[in-house]
Amino acid sequence: MYSADIRQPLVTGGKTYSDVTADICRPIENKPTNSWWLGFSIGVVLLLVLAGTLAWTVWEGIGTWNTNKSVMWGWDITNFVFWVGIGHAGTLISAVLLLFRQKWRMSINRSAEAMTIFAVFCAAIFPLFHMGRVWLGFWPLPLPNAFGSLWVNFNSPLLWDVFAISTYLSVSLVFWYLGLIPDIATVRDRATSKARKYWYGFFAMGWNGSAKSWGRYEVVALILAGISTPLVLSVHTIVSMDFATSVIPGWHTTIFPPYFVAGAIFSGFGMVLTLLLIARHVMNYQDYITKEHLEAMTKVILLTGSVVGLAYITEFVIAAYSGYEYEQYAFANRMFGPYAWAYWTMMFCNLMAPQVFWSKWARTTPWFIFVISIVVNIGMWFERFVIIVTSLHRDFLPSSWVMYHATWVEVGIFLGTFGLFFTCFFLFAKFLPVINMAEIKTIIKDKE
Amino acid sequence: MSSNKYWKGVEELDQTQEFVSSNANEFSEGLPLEQVFSNDDSTRANRRDFLKYFGFGLGAVTLAACNKAPIKKAIPYVEKPDNVTPGVPLYYASSSVSNTEGFPVLVKVREGRPIKFEPNKEATYFGGGLDGLGHSALLSLYDTNRLKGAMVAGKRKPIAWKDFDKEIVTALNKVKAAGKSIAIVTDGSTSLLSQQAIADFSATYNNTDVVSYEPISYSGITRANNASFGKAIIPAYNFQNADVIVSFGADFLGTWISPIKFHSDYSKNRVPKNGKMSKHYQFESIMSLTGSNADVRVPMKMSNVGQHLVALYRELGGATPHKGMEVAGNNIKNAAEELRAAGNKGLVVCGSNNEADQLLVNAINMMLGGYGTTIDTTNYYMGQNADEAAFTSFLSKAKSGAYGAVITLGSNPVYSYSGAEDILAKIPLRISTSITMDETSSNATHVATDLHPLESWDIKQPYKGRFILAQPTISPVFEGRQASSSLAAWAGADVSEKNELSHAYKYAKKVFSSAVGGDFNKALELGVVENTSSPSVPSFNITGGEAADALATKKGSATELVLYQKVGVRDGAYGNTPWAHEMPDPVSKVTWDNYLTMSMPDAKANDISTGDVVKVTVPTGSIQIPVLIQPGQTKSTYGIALGYGRVLPDDVKNDLKDLGQNAYPLVDMKGGFADYTIGDVKIERVTGASTYEFGITQTHYSIEGRDIIREATLDEYNIDPLAGSHVHKPKMISLWDDYDYSKGHHWAMAIDLNSCTGCSACIVSCSIENNVPIVGRDEVRRRREMHWLRIDRYYSFEAPTKKDLELSIVHGGDQTVEAGEQMTKEKVMEAYSEASEDKSTAYNYYENVKVAHQPMMCQHCDNAPCETVCPVLATTHSSEGLNQMTYNRCIGTKYCGNNCPYKVRRFNWFRYNENEKFDYHFSNDLGKMVINPDVTVRSRGVMEKCSFCVQRIQSTKLTAKRENRKMNTDEFTTACAQTCPSNAIVFGDLNDKSSEIAQLYANDRSYHVLEELGVKPSVQYMTKIRNTKATSTKKAH
Amino acid sequence: MIDKSILLDDKTFTVGIFDDSDKLLNAVGTLKKKGVKIFDCYTPFPVHHLDRALGYERTNISIGAFLCGLLGSLTGFTLAYSMNVVDWPMIIGGKPQDISVFTSFIPVIFELTILFTAFGMVILFFARTRMIHGIKEDLLSRRQTDDHMVLAIDNGEPQDMSASEIQSLLASEGAIDVDASRTSFNTSLTDEDELAKQLMTK
Amino acid sequence: MSSFYSESTFLALIILSVVLLAIAALLFGIKRHLSELNREKFAEEAEPSFYEAKIKPVIDTWNPTIATLVIAGVLIVILGGFGYKFGMDEVGVQQGYAPSQPINFSHKIHAGQYEIDCKYCHSTVEKSKSASIPSLNTCMNCHKYVKASEKYNGKTSPEIQKIYNAIGYDGENMEYIEGYEQKPIEWIRIHNLPDLAYFNHSQHVVVGKLDCQTCHGPIQEMDKVYQYSTLQMGWCIDCHRERGIDSENNDYYEEAHKNMLAEGKDYITVAENGGLECSKCHY
């Protein structure tokens, strides 16, 4: 009666509604597997690394990093932008694809949204701990105070960041949670132990799936998707303004907002693919995350990768055309200066590597996609590194030109954020349905 | 540390003189600080906390000082001491600490603590500036390693002076009875008190020999002058009278004789006036500060200096058959032409310590007629007149056992004279008077701990007839005794204090009335007394021909090692002050280390790069030291700075433990004089040594063709006053109406790149004024030096011939460099060199680099990019045009630092104060006394930067308001401008149209760095004019 | 504010349980056609057109969302303007200190608009549907969140057809189970044994 | 325009009203409980209380979502607001601090009763940033003779004796003791500004023409000195926003005064003269 115009079935294996429920609730209801324990332990160990390195940073001062008089932002803000970028895919997949009525999103949007939230957690660590006085981290909030009420600077992109990131995090959380409610209700009604009944009942908020509720629910979800779309775009636009509104050659570029947004989608999809391919393999979700899904996502990667590549080239051409020697030098220095290796890594990973997805084989071969998704993640990290470090290390006055290399503390914090990310993700996979059951059930019939 | 008591004071301040004198013992005990320092709180004390400890007893120390040294008798420079007001500084005229020959300064004293040296502008002859080391030496007062009183070897605690004196007198009498001699080894100090004390001592002990010793010798000059006109003196050089200056290896702006005075004299003639400025030729082997400022700098070998002098003599028409040796580009001929044209306004100086060289220099100057104008032998220089020959003969006499006692008076021969230690050890009674356990003291049997110069009375005579009075500005911190009093005590005088008047005071007064005469109090107030006579021309005993004959046969060596001094550390006497070490060398920008300077061609030929550790072997010894490739260094010459490798007491901390290598053992004494140029150098790479990383503040040496420093030649400037400024710049448009700064004050600064020599005194002055932390070598390596003010130094060289270069796109792509083009890009310079066909001479271009210095500090941009990006409004603009940094609001996002186009913002990466790891005198109880109480000590995690000395602005404004009058902008200036010996920095109020700054802003040469960014800086630079014939100012791309 | 029509308290229902959304839709259509007043349907997933078939109006929650957004914009502007222009203007990078600095406020205004919209709307939704943590759920079938769809008819409501007619109609429309009097129960606060007993009796 | 924010009235009023409501509810509860007890005593049939009759139905019909969120929100606002206000206004603020001093010096007697000018003792207040505590010999200018012995049966007042003990003065023979080892009086500092704030007394007393009492309170009535003002930055800022500068009588302000007249204003506040700029106090 309502079939979507998709050639391949979105869910394979001839699943019934109760099969879907059983499949997706299985990890929640059963004891964790060994592979879960392994992954979770690695996550926790890395999380301890994060705790240790952050504690050391706070104890000693951020002098334990190698940032210096010219490169005052190094791995910290690189990682921040990296994680915020990753944090874009989830909401984008849910929101934009919902608006475009792309039903293939349904298998992946839950985990992508979770990823968004965890990535934003990871991202938030950096602007907080890169502060020299992290204990005063609440000062950028416009609170009345005893200093005559000294306010905040609404001209500062960092303040915009404060608003943007906190709004993004809270709206994403709401969006994610809203989607979780019917599924939590499902788990609740299947639960037999007292604790599970209580807690899933607590979070299900009394959901019973009445047609009236579903009617409102769908409208709210649609509007949330509608406002989340500009929100997603605005967040990375504002992050890009951290650079674009400055005077530093290589930063002071009007192309940054679209370029950063495309990069964010690109890196977000890269990370979604990485995670989903693992989850698909480990949890045997091949029927829910089909090759059709993978192919659709690789196409997005191909598109956004090309957009990002175009931005790189545009940026360079504009700099060359600008007649502004500092800008010209900044870009030439990226390509051929001491950090050229980072630039070419970025170019290879972000512009060249995704082009393999013109091939159908590449788009449908999971292990290959996995490799490319990792490459994309690496490439996007280098993009931020290139933008931040190569612009700062040689700016206007050659007397202040410096080199910058991270210390083990900075590396430890970065690795540690992966610990936080994976710990959260494994907990999520254990306690919450990683695929949106309610939505999947609506498309089971769309197989013909 | 905490159990020591450094201060004597009362809880309460008293203002009246009567009270002080009627309560003689008032200050002997009773210490608010004692308790404070005895608990753990002391480790958290900083700046204004210090005042809190004093609580209400501010100024107590000032008065306590009266106990030992009657300050009430001293006349302060500005205010009378009975006006001592807590919170208000007093200025005392005194003499610089590091310049032992005497240099006038004002000592700024707050609540009884000297906290800064400022130039004594009354002493016009000396130029009204100060150097970096002079500023740094203030910390020696607060050195925790100072000895606490009279020490006997083997005992850890000081003993009472009474017992000490008894022991010494007994021992000295024994020496006398045994028929042996007593030696007094003085330093080059021109102290009249010491001289008088030695005379008194010698009167009692007639078996006394006096020998003076200085680590750096100028005896070549004194002996040549003795031979030339019978006066064994160093003359006074008047660079302000010279239109043409030709220097052969004399670093007169950096280290040679009296560089601060030379600086101010030199700079008077360096700013083009009426189309004229002086012309400066520099022939040298190492790249010195002076060389970096020369109009024509010619690389030569110091061992060939005699031959070059002969050539110059001959070119000038001197009667000699010898041709000598010309340098590249016929520059000796050019110099000779210009010298001849200048006549008695030409001056030739030479840094050689060889008598023969100096004889010919004298002959040349005589020929030019410079005696009486550029050279003054009447009111000659009195300092640094030690003769190493006398010291050598003293040592050989000591070796034979002729001496029963030696008193080293301020000198430290064990450190700087190789072999002195063993010979001195043969003398049974060795008395040292140093204030710290230096190399000589630790070798002594007794240390009669001297007082610090800032605790002492003294009268110095740096120039004949020019006296400088030094007065105590602080009560003795430890139980030392002035050396002159010690000598007097041993000669039998009663040196105990009477009526609070120290022996030294009475002694000083006596010496003053006999040697100087006049009003003592008036003299103290001004700090200087001038009693000079008009210069006369000496009559010569020797002709240039004879001198040339003597030099004609002297052959230079194939390779040579030049032992030189660094501007910041000099001879090493005050080489333990962290400020001096953290001050980057003006030329190499290296902090904390000495190194082997190597020319680019030599380095390329031997495949050595900066940081490689090599073993340098010369006939006098060998040394392992890292290499620094120094553009400008003459090929086949090497340089090592003296003054490093001090052996400091065990309890010095951090980088002070490790101060480079001592090169004094390499000084060649074979010829009977100290030769700082040694031939036959062998360089071997030390196998297995890891690359040494220097703490260097600037690693990129070229300006990359950017419009940051504007230059023009004098000829161009005379034709077109805007020469150098014809740079295409975009038209500025603004989206809104700019803030109107035309009301009230608008603070601004002008920096004349023509006057600025890069001497770096301003850096240290700024650091001290603003409590800028010292961070140590390792933090500098990580590019985290905290200096609010830095001096950028850029090299460039001119292409002698046309060459086609292959370059990557980042460096401008393939290009053709025409002959005469100035290359300002590192990679272009390298490619140009590599494009040479003859690989052995490929890098010789680097011998001929031009240098430009540019002081860089917060530009206080009207449209400051840093302000916009701070989320918490920690940096905002004041209506007076100041870019304000509010430390206590800063949360440390560092965005402002990133967004600063000038990269002048400095971040407190660690807690630099109160931190053992960064204990460079700001973390211990004593060192903290040097902190300026008007400036916050910054905590960890906040940004800081140049504030235009806002504390001075505020205090001057307040004074004007209090006195109900308008403010004059010349009332005050910033710490950097104040200390600049060449007056390159001018600070003031732009809205005061009559001020100097307003006029400078209207000058044709003025420009703003990076003005195309539209940030509207409040610091303006003035185009550097070089007095060269070069016509091409085209820049290679 | 709460939509009372969704409360199941103290009511008994005739329920038809379906395992296919198409059958449910057909059944709703048939029942509606026959004039049976349906109380509500309960489905494990949103069944499209079900609300239309049941004759529900589209919710006007979007108007509330718009008003919340408007409030957010105003808050953002007021915050920025009052702090940076009215209360304590400062010279920041030479920028003006009046309304023309408005452009700098746009990001904050935008973010607050989104934030207020999202939170306001979700709170309205929760309030309308009586959802909050700790509220017990009213279920008619334990599998209504799994694979069963429940068509509920309030027994207290007067119908044109008799109860048995309705039941047989439901059965004929493909309901796998029809129950004439079912009361709501919950899973989360009820012990499993107790629940089993309750379900057994039904 | 500024007072709305600067006084934080917004937050304060909310908190205040919530606290009052809470107190009212508590009192009401107590009253009801008492009346219930009363009823039980007389074993009366419990008639539906006001709560049951009027309030409970309302609550029952309340939306649980809104109610929960409102309660949670109110709790967060109250606790957070109190916590934040405490952190801002209480921590490190020593208003009312009145430590016991080594000598019970009474400003009430000296400044109030005898009307000794403040500047007689705090002599540097017009010259320096600090007002300075007088030295003992300033005390001795009077207390050489003034011993308050009339109150102590002809003996020297024990407090004045402390001065003598410290400085070494023989009150009996009215002369200083030779060679006396003097001990300082260790006063306890009451007004402490943080290290990061630069405050200059002379600026405020000479240029600003403020009375000591403006900041230090009715010092002439204090037997024991206490900290009168909060000494918080907001307190400084408020004053700078309100007070004008004496531009007319100070030549320094000549230009500013002219501009003021040109703009037709009566006076220039300290704030308008740049008195709110950061580097006026922080450097």
* Interface touch D6/A150, C-beta < 8 Å: no
- Say whether B876 and C100 touch across the interface (CB within 8 A): no
Q: Give the span between the Cα atoms of A367 and A354, in whole angstroms.
A: 14
- Which one of D10, D65, D276 makes the best mutation probe of the C interface by having the most chain C beta carbons within 10 Å? D65
pLDDT for the residue numbered D45: 55
pLDDT tops 60 at residue B80: no
User: Which token pair is B448?
Assistant: 């009669």
Q: Helices A256-283 and A89-99 meet at what angle, rounded to 10?
A: 100
Q: Does domain A17-142+158-447 have CATH number 3.30.2020.10?
A: no
| Residue range B106-117, pLDDT digits in tens | 899 887 788 899
> E-assigned strands of B808-960?
815-817, 822-823, 850-856, 875-877, 883-885, 906-907, 943-944
Whether C189 contacts chain D with CB within 8 A: no
The residue of B740, B741, B743, B863 whose CB has the most chain C CBs within 10 angstroms, and thus the best one to mutate to test that interface, is B863
Q: Give the helix ranges, DSSP H, for A17-156.
A: 17-29, 34-60, 75-86, 89-99, 109-129
What is the end-to-end Cα distance of chain B in Å, rounded?
Answer: 59
Q: Is residue D140 over pLDDT 70?
A: yes
Secondary structure (3-state) at C42? strand
**Which residue in the set B737, B738, B876 is minimally distant from C92, CB to CB?**
B876
Interaxial angle between packed helices B331-342 and B305-315, expressed in degrees from 0 to 180 and rounded to the nearest 10: 50
Q: Which one-letter DSSP state was computed for residue B839?
A: G
- Among B354-363, B532-541, B940-949, C130-139, the range scoring the smallest mean pLDDT is C130-139
**Please, which pLDDT band fits residue B18 given cuts at 50, 70 and 90?**
very low
Output the pLDDT for position D42: 59
Give phi and psi for C69, each to the nearest 5: -60, -40
More confident residue, B678 or A92: B678
The answer to the question of residue D27 being in a domain is yes
β B296-299/B279-284 pair status: parallel
By DSSP bridging, strand B403-409 and strand B181-186 are: parallel
Domain with CATH 2.40.40.20 in chain B: 557-696
For A331-376, the DSSP string reads HHHHHHSTTHHHHHHHIIIIIIGGGGGGSHHHHH-HHHHHHHHHHH
Range of the domain at D59: 3-89
User: Residue B651 is which amino acid?
Assistant: D
Domains: count for chain D: 1
* pLDDT over 50 at B583, yes or no: yes
Question: Does the reported pTM lie above 0.95?
Answer: no
pLDDT by residue (tens digit) across B136-178?
Answer: 988 888 888 888 888 888 777 888 888 888 888 888 888 888 8
Helix (H, G, I), strand (E, B) or coil at C160: coil
| Amino acid, single-letter form, for residue B1030 | A
Residue B353 region by backbone torsions, left for phi larger than 0, else alpha for psi between -120 and 50, else beta: alpha
Q: Please tell me which residue, D181 or B37, carries the higher pLDDT value.
A: D181
Give the CATH fold of the B711-725+760-789+858-1026 domain.
Answer: Alpha-Beta Plaits (3.30.70)
User: Where are the extended beta strands (E) located within B120-190?
Assistant: 151-152, 181-186
How large is the average pLDDT for residues B758-778?
91
Q: Which two tokens stand for residue D85?
A: 């206000």
Q: What is the pLDDT of residues B779-816, one digit of tens each?
A: 999 999 999 999 999 998 888 888 888 887 777 778 88
Q: What is the pLDDT of residue A6?
A: 45
Half-sphere exposure of A335 (CA within 13 A, CB side): 17
State whether residue B906 sits within 8 Å of chain A by CB: yes
- Residue B765 pLDDT more than 90? yes
To the nearest whole angstrom, how far is the Cα of A308 from the nearest Cα of chain D? 43
- Percentages helix, strand, coil for chain B (3-state, rounded to 5) are 30, 20, 50
Residues from chain D that touch C133, judged by Cβ atoms under 8 A, are 68
Contact D1 C86 (CB under 8 A): yes
Task: Select the more confidently predicted residue: A197 or C59.
Answer: A197
Selecting from B88, B885, B967 the residue whose C-beta is nearest the C-beta of D128 gives B88
Write down the pLDDT at residue A49: 94
Joined tokens for residue B960: 């004007």
Long-range contacts of A15-18 (CB under 8 A, 24+ apart): A15/A287, A15/A444, A16/A444, A16/C147, A17/A441, A17/A444, A17/C19, A17/C44, A17/C146, A17/C147, A18/C143, A18/C146, A18/C147
CB B826 within 8 Å of CB A329:
no
pLDDT of amino acid B525: 84
The CATH classification number of C4-56+137-201 equals 3.30.70
Placement of tokens 């002809």 in the chain: D154
Q: C-alpha distances in angstroms, A23 versus A15, A196, A426? A: 9, 18, 17
Helix-helix angle A366-385:A75-86, to 10 degrees = 140
| Per-domain residue ranges of chain C | 4-56+137-201, 61-128
> Per the CB < 8 Å rule, is C132 touching D1?
no
* CA B417/CA B419 separation, integer angstroms: 6
> Strand, helix or coil at B671?
coil
CA atoms within 13 A on the CB side of B818: 6
Q: What is the rounded distance in angstroms from the CA atom of residue B592 to the CA atom of residue B578?
A: 8
Domain B219-381: which topology? Answer: Dimethylsulfoxide Reductase; domain 2 (3.40.228)
**What is the residue-level pLDDT of chain A in tens, covering all 448 positions?**
344 444 456 666 677 888 888 888 888 888 888 888 998 999 999 999 999 999 999 998 899 999 999 999 999 999 999 999 888 877 887 787 777 777 777 777 888 888 889 999 999 999 999 998 998 888 999 888 888 888 999 999 999 999 999 999 999 999 899 999 999 999 988 888 888 888 888 888 888 888 888 888 988 988 888 888 899 889 989 999 999 999 999 898 888 999 888 888 888 888 888 888 887 887 777 777 888 888 888 998 999 999 999 999 998 888 888 888 888 888 888 888 889 999 999 999 988 888 999 988 888 888 999 999 999 999 999 999 999 999 999 989 999 999 999 999 999 999 999 999 999 988 998 899 888 888 888 877 654 3
Encoding tokens for residue A205?
């908020």
pLDDT tens column, C72-93: 999 999 999 998 888 888 889 8
The answer to whether B15 and D127 are in contact (CB under 8 A) is no
The alpha-carbon gap from A236 to the nearest alpha carbon of chain B, in Å, equals 17
Subunits with 3+ C-beta pairs closer than 8 A to A: B, C, D
- Tell which residue, C177, D206, A287, has the closest CA to residue B962: D206
Which subunits sit against C, judged by 3+ Cβ pairs under 8 A? A, B, D
CB-nearest to C62 from A163, A215, A223 is A223
Residues A402, B790 contacting (CB under 8 angstroms) = no
Label residue B873 exposed, middle or buried (CB < 10 Å: 0-12, 13-18, 19+). Answer: buried
The answer to whether the beta carbons of residues B965 and D252 sit under 8 Å apart is yes
Q: Taking each helix axis from N to C terminus, what angle separates B503-511 and B192-204, rounded to the nearest 10 degrees? A: 100
C1 Cβ under 8 Å from any chain D Cβ: yes
Instruction: Give how far Cα B726 sits from Cα of A165, B729, B1008, B1015, Å.
Output: 47, 9, 13, 20
Q: Is residue D137 part of a domain?
A: no
Query: Which CATH number applies to B557-696: 3.40.50.720, 3.30.70.920, 3.40.50.2300, 2.40.40.20?
Result: 2.40.40.20
Please report whether residue D56 resides in a domain: yes
Per-residue burial over D205-242, b = 16 or more CB atoms within 10 Å of its CB, e = otherwise: bbbbebebeebbeebbebeebbbbeebbbbbbbbbbbe
How far are the Cα atoms of A210, B185, B204, B496, D264 from residue B404, in angstroms, in the given order? 113, 14, 16, 27, 88
Phi, psi of B544 (to 5 degrees): -65, -35
pLDDT of B77 reads 27
Lowest mean pLDDT among B226-240, B791-805, D64-78: D64-78
Query: What is the ipTM score, two decimals?
Result: 0.86
The answer to whether residues A71 and A395 touch, using CB atoms and an 8 Å cutoff, is: no
Task: Tell me which residue of B823, B652, B860 sits closest to B739, measured CA to CA.
Answer: B860
Contacts of A213 in chain D (CB under 8 A): none
Residues in B closer than 8 angstroms to D130, CB to CB, are: 51, 58, 86-87
d(C-alpha C121, C-alpha D46), whole Å: 44
Is some CB atom of chain A closer than 8 A to the CB atom of C172? no
Which among A21, A150, A241 is the nearest to C147, CB-wise? Answer: A21
- Is 60 exceeded by the pLDDT of residue B974? yes
Q: Is D141 on the interface with B (CB under 8 A)?
A: no
| Interaxial angle between packed helices A325-336 and A291-322, expressed in degrees from 0 to 180 and rounded to the nearest 10 | 130
Mutation target to probe the D interface, by most D beta carbons within 10 A, among C79, C126, C135 is C126
As to burial, measured by CB atoms within 10 angstroms (0-12 exposed, 13-18 middle, 19+ buried), residue B836 is middle
Share of chain D above pLDDT 70, in %: 85
The percent helix, strand, coil of chain A (3-state, each to 5) is 75, 0, 25
Mean pLDDT calculated for residue range D55-63: 65
Q: How confident is the model at residue B538 (pLDDT cuts 50, 70, 90)?
A: confident
> Which residues, at least 6 apart from D212, have a Cβ–Cβ distance to it below 8 Å?
D118, D125, D205, D219
D33: buried, middle or exposed (CB in 10 Å: 19+, 13-18, 0-12)? Answer: exposed
For A198-207, b where at least 16 C-beta lie within 10 A, e where not — what string?
A: ebbbbbbbbb
The boundaries of every CATH 3.30.70.20 domain in chain B are: 711-725+760-789+858-1026
pLDDT of amino acid C74: 93
For residue D176, the one-letter residue type is Y
- Helix H or strand E encompassing C117: helix C106-128
Residues of D in contact with B30 (CB under 8 A): 182-184
3-state secondary structure A253-291: CCCHHHHHHHHHHHHHHHHHHHHHHHHHHHHCCCCCCCH
Say whether residue C9 is in contact with chain D using an 8 A CB cutoff: no
Residues B422, B430 contacting (CB under 8 angstroms): no
Q: Is B579 helix (H, G, I), strand (E, B) or coil?
A: helix
Top-confidence residue, A428 or D32: A428
CATH topology of domain B151-213+386-517: Rossmann fold (3.40.50)
B909 to chain A, closest Cα gap in Å: 4
